[in-house]
Structure 1
Amino acid sequence: MINKNIIWSISLVVFLSTFSCKEIVKNTETLQVIKVGNAKDLRDFFNYTGNDIPIISGHRGQKTIGYAENSIEALEDVLKHTPAFFEIDPRLTKDSVIVLMHDATLERTTNGTGKVSDYTLQELKKLRLKDAHGNILDHQIPTLQEAIQWSKGKTILNLDKKDVPISLMAEVLEELDKETTVMVTVHNAEQAMFYHEKNKDRMFSAFVKTEADFEKFDNSGVPWSQMIAYIGPKIKGEDNKIYNLLNSKGVMCMISAASSYDKLEVMSERHKAYVDIIKDGASIIESDYPIEFYKAIKSVIPKNSPKNKYFQEIKKSHY
């Protein structure tokens, strides 16, 4: 005869195991990721083919209640809804650590005061970030290293130019980004040439707003295959020659709605503008509202594209 205590113990183990499994399932989230593992993948992902899936860039992550710009939490929340890559802002601390912060000062986005550069990393980590409505969140200022580590296998980071000297940025990226999958924003051909000399595989988000800009980059020696082009904040309409110039080189064109169409107060007007950006010829759209942008353009996303292989789902479990 089986001892009752043994039966009770077995039942308890089965119950706890079942409960634990349910909790794991309950706390499992799906992330919509861009699976780019190396520099070759990155070039192929951004190569213009004419049959590409519109690519969303989250400007500083996103601008949503409950999430702070330039926070890892904001970036990951976007991936729960749509694949995207992210423009983020590197700044230097007093002890020369690179952190993510758009402004030179702390007041707008944290509960601190003064300049970022007057604080050490340890001091900055004691602060908490705010969302766009000024609500203080339980989110810390991330370092660039933390952001890059988080991004691997999930997305692509595009580093804007703030107060970090490009010589230091190039040096740090060689240490933190062995796969060369982090992009760098360059405002002119000279900056691109500097980074390219340091790493021949580095990918750039280049300011190419005019034909004169195009000529400078075309003569720079930096391959067009390693660039996307930011062409401005508004639809080009009839003045679309820049699309033709860049697309002929295999370069995707990016419109940033952050300073233009994102500011439309009526949601339906924003959604129409987002779709019009795609119809106008842009391949990449940068927005403060990447989740909303995805919902607006779902109907115009091509079902068959050579880029489908880069868009995947992964499970993230919270134990």
Structure 2
Amino acid sequence: MKTKIYGFLMLLLLFSCKKENSDSQNTAFASNDPYRLVLSTVEEARDFYSWTSDRIPMVSAHRGGPYLGYPENSIEAFEHVLRHTPAIIEFDVAITKDSVLILMHDNTVDRTTTGKGRVIDLTFQEIRELNLVDKEGGKTNFRVPTLEEALVWGKGKTLFTVDIKREVPFEMVVDAIKRHQAEPYAAVITYSVNAAKKMHRLHPDLMLSVTIRNEEELQRFEESGIPVDRWIAFTGTTDRPEEFNALLHDLGVFTILGVLGNLDRSAIARGDQIYAEFVEKGADILATDRPIEAAEAIRGLIPEESSKKKYFEIR
């Protein structure tokens, strides 16, 4: 039976005693994840991503949040992150020789699996027979998932941002989202105004991650014809001035700061409190390779009262 979480801090504190080394190698697509972020309609998605002063700062797990023993772009990595914190899950979609959409970042399977070869030259069955490896190169028993499997697994658990690799037709991803009625919880990442406009034409209800790093790019999107309530603004991988974030907030737009890479490394060197500093300057979502650590650092910034809490549940 589902119980609504009216005190989001209580939800976090309830599970904060969990330790990294206490996780078992449970690879089932669990139905009892402690943290759930549930959006049921596209209207709820627009409301959740609409900036208000009581917004709940979030982390986005880059490539699903790989950790030791949990490979990138694997459902097992998604589950691992959600056992520690509510999170948005970012993953990459590639296409096989026989036109199956799978979760894979690189053009080849060499780095992330026990196999070798270009993704586009391998059939899905050939890729499915490979084992995923973690970020240290350790072999796991996990397999490469399909986009279909990810969409089925994610419903009622989390939010996705879907990064479409160059070879993949937008239409195929949109068709999969429509087929699984995933519009409320699957936003699509775009890297240019033209790509965003094409995606919006294909499916006007989709939330779009759009790159807005300066006022010139902001003006282009204001002139694009894409409604502001479909935007989630990716502001780049360099900390943005508070004044620029405020411009986006005045439009009701959530911001995503990419702390992956240099900023994550700065947190390791200087201390995780810098994640809180980014949020205090107006970053609403931190896209990070360290989602568990970043979430812990921003925990104290969650408002005691927020209209967004209604979307968080615990089973």
Same fold (TM over 0.5): yes
The equivalences for 1:152-301 within 5 A come to: 152-163=155-166, 164-177=168-181, 179-236=183-240, 239-264=241-266, 266=268, 269-301=270-302
Radius of gyration: which is bigger?
A: 1
SS of the residue corresponding to residue 272 of structure 2 reads helix
Aligned to 1:71: 74
Deviation at 1:165, TM superposition (A): 2.2
Deviation at 1:179, TM superposition (A): 4.3
How many matched pairs?
285
- Paired with 1:270 and 1:95, the residues of 2 have a C-alpha distance of 46
Pick from 20, 34, 39 the counterpart of residue 36 of structure 1.
39
SS of the residue corresponding to residue 60 of structure 1 reads helix
Deviation at 1:178, TM superposition (A): 5.2
Q: Is the 8 A contact 1:186 1:205 kept in 2?
A: yes
Pick from 131, 135, 156 the counterpart of residue 132 of structure 1.
135
SS of the residue corresponding to residue 164 of structure 2 reads coil
Q: Is the 8 A contact 1:181 1:202 kept in 2?
A: no
Q: Is the 8 A contact 2:64 2:90 kept in 1?
A: yes
Deviation at 1:171, TM superposition (A): 3.3
TM-score (norm 2): 0.86
Q: Deviations over 1:182-208 (max 9, x none)?
A: 110011221121121122211001111
Q: Is the 8 A contact 1:207 1:229 kept in 2?
A: yes
Question: Which shows bigger deviation, 155-164 or 179-188?
Answer: 179-188
Deviation at 1:231, TM superposition (A): 0.4
Query: Counterpart amino acid of 1:48?
Result: W
- Paired with 1:84 and 1:199, the residues of 2 have a C-alpha distance of 25
In structure 2, do the counterparts of structure 1 residues 179 and 188 end up closer, same or farther at CA, with 3 Å as the change threshold? closer
Q: Deviations over 1:59-116 (max 9, x none)?
A: 0111310100000000011111111111100000010011001111111111011111
- Identity of paired residues, percent? 36
In structure 2, do the counterparts of structure 1 residues 173 and 279 end up closer, same or farther at CA, with 3 Å as the change threshold? same
Aligned to 2:115: 112
- Paired with 1:93 and 1:270, the residues of 2 have a C-alpha distance of 41
- Paired with 1:174 and 1:37, the residues of 2 have a C-alpha distance of 14
SS of the residue corresponding to residue 200 of structure 1 reads coil
SS of the residue corresponding to residue 307 of structure 1 reads helix
SS of the residue corresponding to residue 56 of structure 1 reads strand
Aligned to 2:23: none
Aligned to 1:51: 54
Q: Is the 8 A contact 1:262 1:270 kept in 2?
A: no
SS of the residue corresponding to residue 305 of structure 2 reads coil
SS of the residue corresponding to residue 183 of structure 1 reads strand
Aligned to 2:90: 87
- Paired with 1:231 and 1:306, the residues of 2 have a C-alpha distance of 25
Q: Is the 8 A contact 2:267 2:275 kept in 1?
A: no
Deviation at 1:223, TM superposition (A): 0.7
- Paired with 1:118 and 1:74, the residues of 2 have a C-alpha distance of 26
Deviation at 1:216, TM superposition (A): 1.0
TM-score (norm 1): 0.85
Structure 1: which 5+ residue stretches go unaligned?
1-26, 315-319
Deviation at 1:160, TM superposition (A): 1.0
Question: Which shows bigger deviation, 158-167 or 124-133?
Answer: 158-167
1:309 pairs with 2:313: no
Structure 2: which 5+ residue stretches go unaligned?
1-29
SS of the residue corresponding to residue 57 of structure 1 reads strand
In structure 2, do the counterparts of structure 1 residues 28 and 185 end up closer, same or farther at CA, with 3 Å as the change threshold? closer
Q: Deviations over 1:115-168 (max 9, x none)?
A: 111111111110010111110001100000000000000011111131212233
Query: Counterpart amino acid of 2:273?
Result: K
SS of the residue corresponding to residue 99 of structure 1 reads strand
- Paired with 2:300 and 2:204, the residues of 1 have a C-alpha distance of 38
Query: Counterpart amino acid of 2:75?
Result: I
- Paired with 2:110 and 2:204, the residues of 1 have a C-alpha distance of 39
SS of the residue corresponding to residue 235 of structure 1 reads coil
- Paired with 2:136 and 2:84, the residues of 1 have a C-alpha distance of 22
Question: Which shows bigger deviation, 164-173 or 110-119?
Answer: 164-173
Q: Is the 8 A contact 1:183 1:204 kept in 2?
A: yes
Q: Is the 8 A contact 1:261 1:270 kept in 2?
A: no
In structure 2, do the counterparts of structure 1 residues 128 and 52 end up closer, same or farther at CA, with 3 Å as the change threshold? same
- Paired with 1:266 and 1:227, the residues of 2 have a C-alpha distance of 31
Question: Which shows bigger deviation, 255-264 or 284-293?
Answer: 255-264
Pick from 140, 144, 165 the counterpart of residue 141 of structure 1.
144
Q: Is the 8 A contact 2:66 2:289 kept in 1?
A: yes
